[in-house]
Amino acid sequence: MYTSDALARELGRGLSRSPVHSVCISGRDALANAEFLQAALQTLATTAPVIADTDGQRPEAIAVLHPYIQVVQVILEVPRVEATVERAMETIRAAARVGCAHAVTIAGTDEASDADYLQIVEKARGASEAVQIVIHPGRATERGVLDRRWSVLLEHAMGRHADVRVALRLSGPATTQ
């Protein structure tokens, strides 16, 4: 268990050891204690960008944390319950309102339909025209080859929003280092 000061000191030690790209606040419910994170980030006062990688279910946390974070990334698994998607889009709207860069990552499953993906793309664009969208196909693509379905899906998605990309998930030894 950390206090906010102890967390800030630990992060500061890590940041002082070598150059880093960014600090990432992540986990399924990463923003559950926004006041704790606010105190830690305020104490840390890092120049490294801070990214909030979240499930998007706590849009109210963005108002508290926006002075300390530069990017809000919402990760949604598909298929997803409509209320969960709506709450995630409120997080995207909150990030847009305060001027944080924002993105939606769609973590696909083999059960997800193209309509599941496209619905989230449309909702994300409706939440913010500046949103970046990354689609990760399901596990069936792990052998490193995308079939025609994904190029067609990308074409349809980009017809709804220009900033969409499809990216394979990394697995195996490359992700364990």
How does pLDDT run across 31-90, given as a tens digit for each residue?
999 999 999 999 998 888 999 999 999 999 999 999 999 999 999 998 878 899 999 999
pTM to 2 decimal places: 0.88
Alpha carbons 163 and 134: distance in angstroms, whole number: 8
Question: Which domains does the chain show, CATH number per domain?
Answer: 51-175 (3.40.50)
**pLDDT of the residue at 19:** 85
**pLDDT of the residue at 159:** 96
- Of 86, 55, 84, nearest to 72 by C-alpha is 55
